[in-house]
Amino acid sequence: MTTVGILGGGQLARMLALAGAPLGLRFRVLDVSADACAGQCAPLTVADYHDRAALERFADSVDVVTFDFENVPAQSAHWLAERCPVFPNPNALALTQDRLAEKQLFASLGLATPAFRTVDSHADLIAACAEIGFPCILKTRRLGYDGKGQYRLRATSDIAAAWSAIGGAPLILEAFVCFDRELSVIAVRAQNGELRSYPLAQNWHQDGVLSASLAPAPEQTEVAALAVAAVHRLAEQLDYVGVLALELFDCQGQLLANEMAPRVHNSGHWTIEAADCSQFANHLRAVTGLPLGSTAMHGVAAMLNWVGNLPDRGAVLSEPRGYFHDYGKAARDGRKVGHATIMAEQPAQLADALGRVAARLHRQHQIAPLLAML
């Protein structure tokens, strides 16, 4: 029986373990926290990601290693790759940990991006703002996710405050994009190079954290073809194995690559119920050398993220095709603690179901943007 090791024990690792059980896979998880929620579903090793002794024991106990978030130290992944297979490969992981390297890769492959400049000093920031203009966004090149490590500048007077807030680390300044919508495309690549993609999703964020996704994204035929071509180009270039997500801005039909994630992705959670083979099962199929599953979906689906605390699950479960996921985490501001997926055969039926859920949960603010698209 194959044992999959997962670096990182959050909800993505948890859902990987749940998806792998029917495939006869076993799991071991390594995380720095003793209360990592994946530990409720698989044996958990608590250790620092740099602890070589713990990593060696971990490598000896598994057949293949993957990870559930992109900030796992790339040097630890490289070290493990000398002892057992690691997918996606550590080079891909390292590249996605640096926003500048990521943007440079996009540019090298002909993928349009927001204008960007490297910022290593206060003088660099002044010059970059003059070149890019306002508004713009200053970001740390490393360790930023879910809106962390970012500062929006609206005028020259904001430069000093931005530098005070996150200066001192390697930075990148990006032009602010007045996009029509935020999109994501999720692909999976097998060890033999086979590539498959899920339908494009449209996403909404609140305070930098994903709030909701709608799949398939409305009016998407030409845009979807461009998005799929882009993510496939990235996967081939990186010799990637596993699930890869690409986040995009749609600006009147022109797509700008925002960032990519070398893992299963929040905007693809709807695939658990709404696709023939979920992103989690397909990731596991890829990293263990099994044939990929179909990425076709059934009807239309909306995913609602629960951030901070869980709402009444009954409001979701009362829907004939409503599914509720509790990650087993303690409530905390800004923390992803669960999600729900609502499905229907047609957009109008999905709108009716979402309207009922919004009324029961008093979450019109979260669901209204989806209803406007259905």
Which residue intervals of the chain bear CATH 3.40.50.20?
A: 3-86
CATH topology of domain 181-371: D-amino Acid Aminotransferase; Chain A, domain 1 (3.30.470)
Q: How far apart are CA 366 and CA 349, in angstroms?
A: 18
Q: From residue 156, how far is each of 38, 125, 129, 162 by CA, in Å? A: 45, 10, 8, 10
For 215, the enclosing helix (H) or strand (E) is strand 209-215
Which stretch of 25-34, 164-173, 174-183, 197-206 has the lowest confidence by average pLDDT? Answer: 164-173
What is the predicted pLDDT for the residue at 221? 82
Which residue intervals of the chain bear CATH 3.30.470.20?
A: 181-371
> Which CATH superfamily does the domain covering 115-175 fall into?
ATP-grasp fold, A domain (3.30.1490.20)
Report residue 146's pLDDT band, with 50, 70 and 90 as the boundaries.
low
pLDDT average, residue stretch 359-368? 96
What is the predicted pLDDT for the residue at 149? 80
What is the predicted pLDDT for the residue at 273? 98
> Which candidate, 238, 235, 295, places its Cα nearest to that of 271?
295
Report residue 148's pLDDT band, with 50, 70 and 90 as the boundaries.
low
Q: From residue 233, how far is each of 63, 100, 113, 143, 357 by CA, in Å? A: 29, 19, 15, 25, 39
Domain 3-86 sits in CATH at: 3.40.50.20
What digits encode the pLDDT tens for the residues 53-104?
A: 999 999 999 999 999 998 899 999 999 999 999 999 999 999 999 999 999 9
Which residue intervals of the chain bear CATH 3.30.1490.20?
A: 115-175
